[in-house]
Structure 1
Amino acid sequence: MGLKDLYSPQFLTDLGTQLHQVVPTFDVTRFCQACLTEAWSDLKLMERRDVITTQMHAQLPANFPQAAAILRQVGPKFTGLAAVCLPNYVAVYGLDHWQVAMTTLAVLTKYSSAEFAIRPFLKRYPVATAQQMQAWAQSTDVDVRRLASEGMRPRLPWGTRLPQYMADPTPVLVVLHQLLFDKSDYVQKSVANNLNDISKDHPEVVIAFAQQYWGQTKSGDWILRRGLRTLFKQGNPDVLALLGYDITAAEKVTDVTLQPESDVAVIGGLTTVTYTVRAPETMPVYLGYRVDYVRQNDITTAKDFFVKRTTLPAGQLLQGVFRLKWQQLTTRRLYPGVHRLTLLVNTQVVAESWVTLK
């Protein structure tokens, strides 16, 4: 069962039934049949969402404020990712009704998320919608506050990118300043991911933001650390220094080894890897490893993994193991070939080894 199967025949029946209870003329059978065409099985999650949106519109009132009132009634009956078809209706058919759309999205996001649906409004009405996001950042509702951040992410996965914020993230940062000390981890994760998005286009802006707030609260530092993760992996010296790591540690450590239990592995298998590292002086280290995954046409792509954060006492040998799972993932397909493994100390390579995947 894949994510697209969240939109199952049963979901369609349930949605149609709830709409019928509010709009007696809404034909559940017609709705389901219109969605479940021969093409349905080949459609991805968001493609199915769009079909559902279109077929809801075919039977709901053409007057958007009337349709929006119906969505607000039905919204509490559906939660989770599948329910994004409801705010999607607002994104597709409510662009000419900004105020009604904002009111409706603020309701629907409490049961699913309007993070995708808000984006067309940020593009068409950039000033008014950014001001709305600032207001939502002050909401007493955690889901609405989270929307204020998540909806403005320049590079939101599955969402359309926001080129205006990739060029100038200033309006986004206004919201993130408001939310940095939010008590909800749901909001905190969104703020961190938003900062990470911005760092890919404006690293200096995010570093300055982090330097301004670093050390004020534990939760704030957690957000900033997560928001700096891409720059950290890139070995940005300003980020390493802010987080308390010496980029030259890799040049100082000794007795470094990286040894797989076997230099051959199979797809679906597991490789246990042992490592050692010694520091001549006491130093904080961020220990990780990198796998250069073989792709088609002899291309490789690198993926970094976290092992541990620790302080190495002067002269003491640190020994440990990590286990590398050779599993096929929807986000990472494995191919046979020689895979390079490297041990990382404060993001820098200190040892390497190889495993042949068959």
Structure 2
Amino acid sequence: MTQSTPLKQSAMNPTRVESLAEDLSRVEPGFDAAGFVTAVVAQLPQLELKARISCVADALAAYLPDDVGATTSILVAALPPHDDATFTGSDFGLYTYAPYSDFIARYGCNGENLDSSLAALKQMTKHFTAEDALRYFLNAFPSETMKAVAEWSHDPDYHVRRLASEGTRPKLPWSPRITLPADAAIPILDELFSDNSRFVTQSVANHLNDISATDPELVLATLGRWRDSRNQGRKEMEFIVKQALRTLVKRGYPGAFAFLGLSIAPAIEVIELRLDPAAVAIGGGLGVDCTLRATSTTTERVLIDYVLTYPRPGSGQGEVVFKGTTVELAPGESRTVSRIQPVRSTSSRRLSPGAGRLQIQVNGRRIAEAAFELLPSR
């Protein structure tokens, strides 16, 4: 089996460092490209991804002018050409340029350089998302930064518009937490939900999903306003709603199902739930066959999720909800839905051998369960 290259090595490696050095040399003739590359490459092997990015940023500070504003100008000038009309790269961008915004966050987040730093992030995010860096400014200079973010929400470049939503997310994964209220960016999202770029609307939906952890009613009210405005196409609005409510649906929040036009107490019963095999090794797949029947006098439309309860290393149990499928059942109709449910450990979910169970969740209500045995990985 061919092993994939770890992200830290593909994202920030000697080749990418050399590429940066070449770009910088073209705009700053006095730049010691060889010394810069040597200093960085010597440190990379023992560093993880974020540390690699910071290592390059520190080297930029060491090999470019002491004046942060001057270095910021050099970094912006060294960026390759970018034209949205012909852009063919990754929406997220190339990790090659991640150290640029990291430099701005750690060296340019101050009153003296505030305007030039924010202007630089606007340009840098077109080449690699500056969402991490922006959060330092939101914490240190919330009013000034949110004013810039509001302007970005109208920018012609969709990378910049996406930064306005993504950088202000309350729970942006793997990023610094921000001290703004969770609803601080609702006016920004009001501008962006009707965007014509999926890269932007995906971020808007994820932003609302973050807010749902603390204020689900605000999320429902906001989605209702947007849907009623008809400023977004029907299919894209359906996408935003589905993505924004995904955590509330998994949690079984009644208001989410009401918003989707679904019953919170559907007349559905499980007449058979079968797991095959009944014992599965960690990393394997659990076969699930579930037969449901509608007991109502009208057609029932239901969302089926799968709740996996598993033993954790040491003691205790963990739980995770997996998205299933949507089915419509006519009165008295029975139907079997089947899937192979992966049972594997992840960086945030560690499984241990022992007794587990799988529950069927229908429109947020758990109506059937079956036990299985989790075996050591092979």
Q: TM-score, normalised by structure 1?
A: 0.92
Deviation for aligned residue 1:106 = 1.1
Equivalent residue for 1:266, pick from 281, 299, 303: 281
State how 1:136-147 maps to structure 2 within 5 Å: 136-147=152-163
Residue pair 2:17, 2:96 contacting (<8 A) in 1 also: no
Residue pair 1:256, 1:351 contacting (<8 A) in 2 also: no
SS at match of 1:296: coil
Equivalent position amino acid for 2:55 in 1: V
2:33 is aligned with 1:28:
yes
SS at match of 1:290: strand
SS at match of 1:117: helix
2:134 is aligned with 1:130:
no
Equivalent residue for 2:47, pick from 43, 50, 56: 43
> Where does structure 1 lack aligned partners over 5 or more consecutive residues?
none
Residue pair 2:306, 2:321 contacting (<8 A) in 1 also: yes
Deviation for aligned residue 1:82 = 4.1
State how 1:170-181 maps to structure 2 within 5 Å: 171-181=184-194
Residue pair 2:135, 2:178 contacting (<8 A) in 1 also: yes
Residue pair 2:250, 2:323 contacting (<8 A) in 1 also: no
Correspondence for 1:182: 195
State how 1:281-300 maps to structure 2 within 5 Å: 281=296, 282-300=299-317
Residue pair 2:278, 2:372 contacting (<8 A) in 1 also: yes
Correspondence for 2:84: none
Residue pair 2:313, 2:350 contacting (<8 A) in 1 also: no
Deviation for aligned residue 1:173 = 0.3
Distance 1:221 1:269, change over 3 A: closer
2:339 is aligned with 1:322:
yes
Distance 1:356 1:151, change over 3 A: same
Deviation for aligned residue 1:232 = 1.9
State how 1:156-167 maps to structure 2 within 5 Å: 156-166=172-182
Q: Distance in 2 between matches of 1:153 and 1:207?
A: 17
Correspondence for 2:131: 115
Deviation for aligned residue 1:143 = 0.4
Equivalent residue for 1:83, pick from 81, 97, 120: 97
Residue pair 2:153, 2:161 contacting (<8 A) in 1 also: yes
Q: Distance in 1 between matches of 2:152 and 2:223?
A: 23
SS at match of 1:212: helix
Equivalent position amino acid for 1:69 in 2: S
Q: Distance in 1 between matches of 2:355 and 2:33?
A: 55
Correspondence for 1:93: 107
Equivalent position amino acid for 2:60 in 1: M
Deviation for aligned residue 1:115 = 0.7
Residue pair 1:7, 1:48 contacting (<8 A) in 2 also: yes
**Higher mean displacement: 280-289 or 253-262:** 253-262
Deviation for aligned residue 1:231 = 1.8
Residue pair 1:244, 1:284 contacting (<8 A) in 2 also: no
Distance 1:279 1:82, change over 3 A: farther
Equivalent position amino acid for 1:275 in 2: C
Residue pair 2:275, 2:287 contacting (<8 A) in 1 also: yes
Distance 1:2 1:152, change over 3 A: same
Q: Distance in 2 between matches of 1:126 and 1:307?
A: 40
Deviation for aligned residue 1:11 = 1.7
State how 1:169-248 maps to structure 2 within 5 Å: 169=183, 171-214=184-227, 216=230, 217-218=233-234, 219-248=236-265
> Where does structure 2 lack aligned partners over 5 or more consecutive residues?
82-88
Deviation for aligned residue 1:36 = 3.7
Correspondence for 2:356: 339
Deviation for aligned residue 1:37 = 4.3
Identity %: 31
Correspondence for 1:2: 6
Deviation for aligned residue 1:244 = 1.2
Q: Distance in 1 between matches of 2:265 and 2:48?
A: 47
Correspondence for 1:69: 73
RMSD of the alignment, in Å? 1.9
Q: Distance in 1 between matches of 2:166 and 2:327?
A: 32
Distance 1:80 1:256, change over 3 A: farther
2:58 is aligned with 1:54:
yes
SS at match of 1:201: coil
Query: What does the per-residue CA deviation read over 1:137-189, in whole Å, with 9 as the maximum and x for residues that have no partner?
Result: 111110010001001111111211112223xx2x3001001111111110011
SS at match of 1:285: strand
Name the count of aligned residue pairs.
352
Q: Distance in 2 between matches of 1:76 and 1:338?
A: 55
Q: TM-score, normalised by structure 2?
A: 0.88
Distance 1:124 1:257, change over 3 A: same
Distance 1:54 1:343, change over 3 A: same
Deviation for aligned residue 1:298 = 2.5
SS at match of 1:329: coil
Deviation for aligned residue 1:20 = 2.4
Q: Larger % of helix: which?
A: 1
SS at match of 2:225: helix
Equivalent position amino acid for 1:93 in 2: Y
